Amino acid sequence: MTDFILETQHLSKAFGGIRATDDLDLQVLPGELHAVIGPNGAGKTTLISQLCGLQTPDTGAILYKGKDITNLPPYKRAHLGIARSFQITSLIMEMTVLDNVALAVQARMGSSFRFFKPARQISAIRDQAMDCLARVNLAHRADVLTHELSHGEHRHIEIAIALAAKADLMLLDEPMAGLGVEESRAMVDLLTAVKTHTTIVLIEHDMDVVFALADRISVLVYGHIIATGSPSEIRANKEVEIAYLGEESGASAC
Amino acid sequence: MDAALFIMQVLNGLQLGLLLFLVASGLTLVFGIMDFVNLAHASLYMVGAMICASVTFVVDSFLWAIVIALPLTALVGWAVERFVARKLYARDHLDQVLATFGLILVLGTSAHLIWGPQGIAVPLPEWLRGQVTLSETLILPRYRLLIIGAGLSAAGGLFWLVNYTRLGMLIRAGASNRRMASALGVNIEFLFSVVFALGAALAGLAGMLITPITEASLGMGNSIIITAFVVIIVGGIGSMKGAFIAAMLIGMIDTLGRAFLDGFFALFMSLEAAENSAPAVSAMLIYIIMAVVLAFKPAGLFPPKVR
Amino acid sequence: MGQNSYPKLTFVVLLLLAVVPPLLYVSGNPFYLDLATRLTILATAAVALNLVLGYGGLVSFGHAAYVGIGAYAVGIPGYHALYGGLESLGLATHSGFVHLALAMGISAVFAFLTGLVCLRTKGVYFIMITMAFAQMIYYAIVSIKTYGGDDGLTIDVRSEFPGISLDNPLQLFAVSYGVLLFAIVVVRTLVNSRFGMVLQGAKGNNERVIMLGYNTYAYRLTAYVISGALAGLAGALLGNFTTFISPEMMDWTRSGDLMFMVILGGVATTIGPVLGSVVFIVIEEILSSFTVYWQLPFGLLLMAVVLYGRGGLVGFFKSRSAPTKSESKP
């Protein structure tokens, strides 16, 4: 049996009458970039919420490196090596770019219940944070207040934070959201560079990006995975076509 | 402890609960619909009581005074909404809290200017004095029964209003999705004014009902506002049903606690220790209940569905 | 960025505060020294509140409770020293060290217990719950007749420390000023430390910080306890200053005053709470000398500050090019 780094088994979550997650089985291989696609309202955000622990499933299990983490609180999942980037930019706007990344670095360096030494003067933290910023080409903006940066730059910071966390598993929730053509290209380049070092679960709408980056793709429809496979397999899959284009398709691929 | 005394205290608890509901309902209505925290809500309770007290002496009838004072209090509420609240809907809750904190000072001092520092005692009309004999041991003050009756009617009226009238439907629509309701042509501004004025009238009514018992005074709002907050926190901010249940719960627990806690304590500690500790503990009782509820349900017992 | 952004202003304000009132006292104007002492004490409480409010984003509307606890921590042992009782616990004493230990210790415990509950809520719930807990203590104290209930408690003997006499106004001021400096240093150090980074991050975006791996609940609770203890320290000084200790000190409206001092001055700055206290108290003094109805213009002023002021007083001293912060809903 293959060892999956992340696996969900019969995951289900309902809100009132709506089954946002419906018997969801997902398997992610270590080191791959696994994209999750699906029509609007398929339940992608709910899935991510449950994977990172901000919501608890009604039934089913989430396994990480073989361990059941279904009920583990979010801050503990970070300790296990899971990092999440948010679809809606979720940075600490009032702090500098460097501060944002430094917090991620600091989290990996033992207890932060330390009250005396000024954090910004700890070179170990600062150097690592600058390093991550350099990898996303934002080192020159380190001391700028985060709210002054563009949306595209914010998305890059999100990636820098995931890098700083040295995550074994990155959950990227629509990193392309709101990016223009140039910015998207830059993000794809960045993700291509990053994906070799880690496992990525990528939620994304932009099909070009998905087919460019993904090793495998899972298709999520009404909270349930209807197909998993390589990009070409998915492209050829009739069920997927129907799910996206409706019953009377017969038209071209997405 | 005999049954009659117990029933008396239960009725007292009921009375307190209903009055708390009248105050809390306005607070939670305004929060649920306008997302507005109004620290000065109890000032309207006080203003209503003062207006009613003054009018009682003018028209020489307590009941007519209430009839006149209610719309007047609603008017004050309307003015507060128009000139203060409206500017704060878009702000975060902290700003609302601070601004209405300042408003308490303004309303309180204005009341001081108008009515002077002394409270106003309101005498009960003849026909409301005296007692009603329900059984040979159960004799209840007539006025308390009236308060309970009035409170229940008001609660019932509110329930009917919210659930069975067009205005109520608009209120519920505005509560669940303000923008959508506005897009559908509902005059949101007008709706907000009405809701605010209604809340003011309800709080004012509570103040008016209590004055024959405790007199209308400038400081009467300051203590009840916190209890009203406890009620809506426990009930779930924005929920009418929650406010009602929490108000009854807290009214009962507070009243019964104050009356019987020392007796209860005396069951397992010395009489002296019981008498020394009971007042402090009964004073803290409703807050302890609040803490317990929040430990299990941080958003209160019946939090309304998120928008 | 983040450390003291207004070093010159801070220095000037603190220097003036240290020098002017004693000079005025020595030249025959004791009133200003009294005013300054009260101001320094309240500023200390405001600095304490700023830790959780300004830097932590936790809107505690109940901090007056800690000031009151601190004051009673002086009053109650003093009462028993005079009238007996509690000797076996060593609490019938005028010893300043005992008073301070009680003031900070009990405040810390109360902050811990209430914080456990409060910090599981957010936004407006948090505001109301902190208010409610403070009021709980108020009612509890009022119901204890031995310590004066509604009427409060007078102490005849101030806290005793070796070599210092708090009966001497200059010395009382010096101690209060020293405590203010202490509080400022504590808060600043905390805020710039690794602990402080997490706290500030959580203020900006709690969910994000949790996802990074921090149990922000624990950090906030710690900050809340420290803040409460510091406010309790201020309370002990207040009790010594006024010698009349009343439940009114912990009334929720006092908490509102403290909040205004912090916000008026500018949250999340070192000197903001001090500036805010100065302005708040000076205006209070001026207005109340004109009319007994001073709360009316005062209330209007407070409302105007909220409606039209941005960034507090400290914002006035900011350079024009700096961007204004955006407020986020709690």
C241-286 pLDDT, tens digit each: 999 999 999 998 899 999 989 988 888 888 889 999 999 999 999 9
Whether A96 and chain C come into contact, CB under 8 Å, resolves to yes
Residues A206 and A128 in one domain: no
Spatial separation of the C-alpha atoms in residues B149 and B160, rounded to whole Å: 16
In a domain, A36, yes or no: yes
Instruction: Assess whether pLDDT exceeds 80 at residue C323.
Output: no
**Chain C residues in contact with A104 (beta carbon < 8 A):** 212
Instruction: Assess whether pLDDT exceeds 50 at residue A254.
Output: no
Tell me the shortest Cα–Cα distance from A59 to chain C, in angstroms: 23
Give the Cα-Cα-Cα angle B173, B174, B176 (nearest 5 degrees).
Answer: 65
Task: Specify which of B98-102, B128-132, B157-161, C179-183 reaches the highest per-range mean pLDDT.
Answer: C179-183
Q: Are C296 and B109 in contact (CB under 8 A)?
A: yes
Which of C194, C222, C321 should we substitute to test contact with A (largest number of A Cβ atoms within 10 Å)? C194
In B115-178, the DSSP E strands lie at 131-133, 139-141
CB spacing of B283 vs C136 below 8 angstroms = yes
Q: If pLDDT is split at 50, 70 and 90, which confidence band does C232 have?
A: very high
Number of residues that make up chain C: 330
Domains of chain A: total: 2
Spatial separation of the C-alpha atoms in residues A229 and A181, rounded to whole Å: 28
In a domain, A253, yes or no: yes
- Predicted confidence at residue C306, as pLDDT, reads 85
- Report the share of chain A in percent with pLDDT over 90: 38
Sign of CA dihedral C149, C152, C156, C162: positive
What does the pLDDT look like over C200-229, one tens digit per residue? 999 988 988 998 889 999 999 999 999 999
Whether B114 and chain C come into contact, CB under 8 Å, resolves to no
Tell me the shortest Cα–Cα distance from A220 to chain C, in angstroms: 24
Q: If pLDDT is split at 50, 70 and 90, which confidence band does A98 have?
A: very high
- Report the share of chain C in percent with pLDDT over 90: 48
Q: Closest Cα partner for B252 from B2, B12, B8?
A: B12
Residues 4-43 of B with CB under 8 A from C: 31, 37
Residues A249 and A175 in one domain: yes
Instruction: Assess whether pLDDT exceeds 80 at residue C326.
Output: no
Single-letter code of the amino acid located at A212: A
Strand A82-85 to strand A67-68: parallel, antiparallel, or no bridges (unpaired)? unpaired
Residues A98 and A65 in one domain: no
| Residue of chain B with shortest Cα separation from C258 | B98
- Predicted confidence at residue C264, as pLDDT, reads 84
**Chain A residues in contact with C203 (beta carbon < 8 A):** 94
CATH number at residue A184: 3.40.50.300
Tell me the shortest Cα–Cα distance from C25 to chain A, in angstroms: 38
Residues A75 and A2 in one domain: yes
- Predicted confidence at residue C92, as pLDDT, reads 80
Spatial separation of the C-alpha atoms in residues C5 and C3, rounded to whole Å: 6
In a domain, A57, yes or no: yes
Residues A42 and A9 in one domain: yes
Average pLDDT over residues C89-113: 90
Residues A111 and A92 in one domain: yes
> Quick one: A181 exposed, middle or buried, by C-beta within 10 A (0-12, 13-18, 19+)?
exposed
Residues A142 and A244 in one domain: no
| Three-state secondary-structure class, residue A167 | coil
Spatial separation of the C-alpha atoms in residues A50 and A31, rounded to whole Å: 21
Residues 204-233 of B with CB under 8 A from C: 222, 226, 229-230, 232-233
Instruction: Assess whether pLDDT exceeds 70 at residue B247.
Output: yes
In a domain, A194, yes or no: no
Residues A65 and A110 in one domain: no
Whether A54 and chain C come into contact, CB under 8 Å, resolves to yes
Q: Are C108 and C229 in contact (CB under 8 A)?
A: yes
CA dihedral C256, C259, C264, C269 (to 10 degrees): 170
Strand A169-173 to strand A82-85: parallel, antiparallel, or no bridges (unpaired)? parallel
Spatial separation of the C-alpha atoms in residues A165 and C277, rounded to whole Å: 42
- Token pair 């979720």 is found at A90
| Candidate from C252, C293, C299 with C-beta closest to B226 | C252
Single-letter code of the amino acid located at B81: E
| Residue of chain A with shortest Cα separation from C202 | A92
Q: Which tops the pLDDT comparison, B307 or C163?
A: C163
- Predicted confidence at residue A247, as pLDDT, reads 47
Instruction: Assess whether pLDDT exceeds 70 at residue B176.
Output: no
Residues A61 and A111 in one domain: no
Instruction: Assess whether pLDDT exceeds 60 at residue A249.
Output: no
Cβ neighbours for A173, distance < 8 A, ≥ 6 positions apart: A44, A45, A48, A84, A85, A86, A87, A203
Q: Closest Cα partner for B162 from B240, B242, B70?
A: B240
Average pLDDT over residues C89-94: 79
- Predicted confidence at residue C321, as pLDDT, reads 34
Q: Closest Cα partner for B31 from C317, C128, C209, C82?
A: C128
Spatial separation of the C-alpha atoms in residues B94 and C260, rounded to whole Å: 11
Whether A212 and chain C come into contact, CB under 8 Å, resolves to no
Q: If pLDDT is split at 50, 70 and 90, which confidence band does A199 have?
A: very high
CB spacing of A106 vs C194 below 8 angstroms = yes
- Predicted confidence at residue B133, as pLDDT, reads 76
CB spacing of A115 vs C189 below 8 angstroms = yes
Residues A100 and A77 in one domain: no
Average pLDDT over residues C294-320: 75
Over chain C, what is the mean pLDDT?
87
Average pLDDT over residues C165-179: 92
Q: Closest Cα partner for B70 from B58, B55, B60?
A: B55
Residues A176 and A157 in one domain: no
Residue A146's domain spans which residues?
88-167
- Report the share of chain B in percent with pLDDT over 90: 36
Tell me the shortest Cα–Cα distance from C260 to chain B, in angstroms: 8
Q: Closest Cα partner for C219 from C12, C63, C51?
A: C51
Domains and CATH numbers, chain C: 7-321 (1.10.3470)
In a domain, A213, yes or no: yes
Whether A119 and chain C come into contact, CB under 8 Å, resolves to yes
- Predicted confidence at residue C316, as pLDDT, reads 58
**Chain B residues in contact with C296 (beta carbon < 8 A):** 105-106, 109-110, 113
Instruction: Assess whether pLDDT exceeds 70 at residue C320.
Output: no
Residue C322 DSSP class = S
Q: Closest Cα partner for C188 from C80, C58, C47?
A: C47
Lowest-confidence range among A64-78, A217-231, B121-135, C281-295? B121-135
> Which chains lie within 8 Å of chain A at 3 or more CB pairs, if any?
C
> Which chains lie within 8 Å of chain B at 3 or more CB pairs, if any?
C
Q: If pLDDT is split at 50, 70 and 90, which confidence band does C314 have?
A: low
- Predicted confidence at residue C82, as pLDDT, reads 82
**Chain B residues in contact with C290 (beta carbon < 8 A):** none
Spatial separation of the C-alpha atoms in residues B29 and B192, rounded to whole Å: 10
In a domain, A195, yes or no: no
| Candidate from A73, A112, A148 with C-beta closest to C195 | A112
**Chain C residues in contact with B282 (beta carbon < 8 A):** 143
- Predicted confidence at residue A11, as pLDDT, reads 92
Whether C226 and chain A come into contact, CB under 8 Å, resolves to no
Residues A38 and A106 in one domain: no
